[in-house]
Amino acid sequence: MLSRFRRIAGAFSVVRWTALAFVLLLVVLSVLAPIVVPTDPLAQDVANRLLSPGTPGHVLGTDEYGRDVLARILHGARVELLIALGASAVAAVIGSLLGLVGGYFGGVAEFLTMRLVGDVLLAFPPVILALLIVTIYGPGEWTLIAVMGILFAPGFARIVYGQTLSVKRLEYVDAAKAFGARTATALFRVVLPNVTAPIIVQFSLVMASAILLESGLSYLGLGVVAPAPSWGGMVASGQRYMGNDPSTILVPSIVVVLTILSFGLLADALRDLLDPRARKGNHA
């Protein structure tokens, strides 16, 4: 138990603890958004539009339609986190399956999973491919989850593929085969549990990438459908009024940056925690 606490303390610096606290706080506030800020994020009050942060009743001010910025930030966080979580989960399942099959069987399976599917997807810039698919099928939460899940799957596939190549040569895999373990059993009960550490780290990184991509698509009007709150949409609308009230663009932009940075720092901490060999004085 003591050694476990030492490992955690060694992996988490002050900055990383702060990042973890920020993510947890964001999750809690997004879940409790209707309680924390009872104001309807879609309710318009044009008479009180573009109020500055600190205004009584509006901690972060209001936007161009008089909607409460804090309410939209927190409700937007719920949407952002759900989309990022869904896309990361889809990518992890698809990518891990491709990597397992390609790395375990090799040959034709490797060509089909890693070369034909993985390399083809990696050949296209994610933003361009996402723009193309979303333009064809239309914006929306489920479209974003499906698109980003497919786009980020090759990253998981490459990591699992490399780990599987190493694990499948180990003695306990040969022992499982010798005792009559079926192929599915060897894959999902012997190999997969021993390659989960890099999957967890990649999951945190993909969460950050998914939030960034979704915010970019929403900024272009191809993400979350307005008037539903989204951070990218708030940045886009606030850009038009940054001369009158810079907070309309600064507040959502700062939240996006802090969220992405926090998930990136968490990925570094998880890498050091789950793989102590990677700890080479690179703490934040």
Q: What is the pLDDT of residues 34-49, one digit of tens each?
A: 898 888 999 888 888 8
Q: Over the stretch 124-165, which tens digit does the pLDDT of each residue have?
A: 777 888 888 888 888 888 989 999 999 999 999 999 998 988
| CA 264 – CA 19 distance, rounded (Å) | 9
| Alpha helices for the chain (secondary structure H) | 2-11, 14-31, 33-36, 69-105, 107-110, 120-122, 126-137, 141-167, 171-178, 183-185, 196-219, 231-239, 247-274
Predicted confidence band of residue 202 (pLDDT cuts 50, 70, 90):
very high
Please list, residue by residue across 239-256, b when 16 or more beta carbons sit within 10 angstroms of its beta carbon and e when fewer do: eebeeebebbbebbbebb
Q: Under CATH, which architecture does the 10-41+55-277 domain have?
A: Orthogonal Bundle (1.10)
Torsion angles phi and psi, residue 62, rounded to 5: -130, 165
Contact, 31 vs 79, CB < 8 A? no
